[in-house]
Amino acid sequence: MTTDEQIVWLTEKLDQVVAELIQTQEELRLTKAELQATYETLQTSRAELQSTQEALGAAQVRIAQLEQVKTPPPAFVKEKKKPPPTQEKKPRKKREARHTHARKRSAVPTHMVEHRIVQCPDCHLRLGGISLARCREVIAVPPPPAVEVTEHRIDKGWCAACQRWHEAPVDFSQQVLGQGRIGVRLASMIASLRTVMRLPLRHLQQVLRTLHGFEVSLGELVELLHRITDSAQPVLDGLKREIRASPAIQADETGWREDGINGSIWSVSTPSVRYDE
């Protein structure tokens, strides 16, 4: 490389270094401007913080002054005065008994079982001062009675004068309906389960079998209900006559669906009678 080429090369390098220095100087100038702006912002924030602290200190001083000043109570608040030492203290008025949400016990227990302890379960020393500690009530339902079957044995005798047999007189009108075998009390329960509880016949049959061990066919249940209806018809007719003769009658109709068929049920009421149909 000749001397002229070296000079040209050095000149280019020098120009490049000068350009980089100029660029670095501009960057430093911009950085200085940014730092100056940040410093001014910090100074402003410091001034605001100082003013806030001064306002807070003044508020605390005001609060302390207000706490030292006693505010008089409202006019409707009476001043509490201590009674003179010579005044006798009146007995405290008894509070009225309040209703508690504890479960009420039965009025009279049907059975009572005593659980006594006479000796210590740890050292087996005889205990003294035995008294009632607590009571616990257990409510249970006795097992339902089985069906009572009464066989009426009716004797007969031969009359030589009349030349015929005579049976012992007996009246079953107060015990069964018609010629059936189911008693009046059992028939009433079946009718109540069918009409009031609206049990299907098969469910009613299951209830009698489960609770009382009584087997009855569906046909006998249907026939019994028909006999009950025929027997109760005069009573229903009497209720209807009483309703028609009443000076005040209230009637109401309600929609009723049975076996997939839309219908209605009528309720007729008087001050003493209610009839549903």
pLDDT value at position 204?
Answer: 93
pLDDT value at position 86?
Answer: 67
Phi, psi of 158 (to 5 degrees): -95, 130
pTM: 0.51
Do residues 117 and 127 touch, judged by C-beta distance below 8 A? yes
Number of other CB atoms surrounding residue 171 within 10 Å: 6
Do residues 174 and 184 touch, judged by C-beta distance below 8 A? yes
- Give the tokens for residue 82: 């201590």
Number of other CB atoms surrounding residue 204 within 10 Å: 19
pLDDT value at position 3?
Answer: 77
Residues 6 or more apart whose Cβ sits within 8 Å of residue 207: 193, 199
pLDDT value at position 2?
Answer: 73
Closest CA to 240 of 263, 269, 199, 271: 269
What CA dihedral angle connects 254, 256, 262 and 267, to 10 degrees?
Answer: -50
b/e sequence 1-34, b meaning 16+ C-beta within 10 Å: eeeeeeeeeeeeeeeeeeeeeeeeeeeeeeeeee
Give SS3 for 244. Answer: helix
Q: Which residue positions in the chain have pLDDT lower than 50? A: none
pLDDT in tens, 77-114: 777 777 677 666 777 777 665 555 566 766 688 888 99
pLDDT value at position 96?
Answer: 66
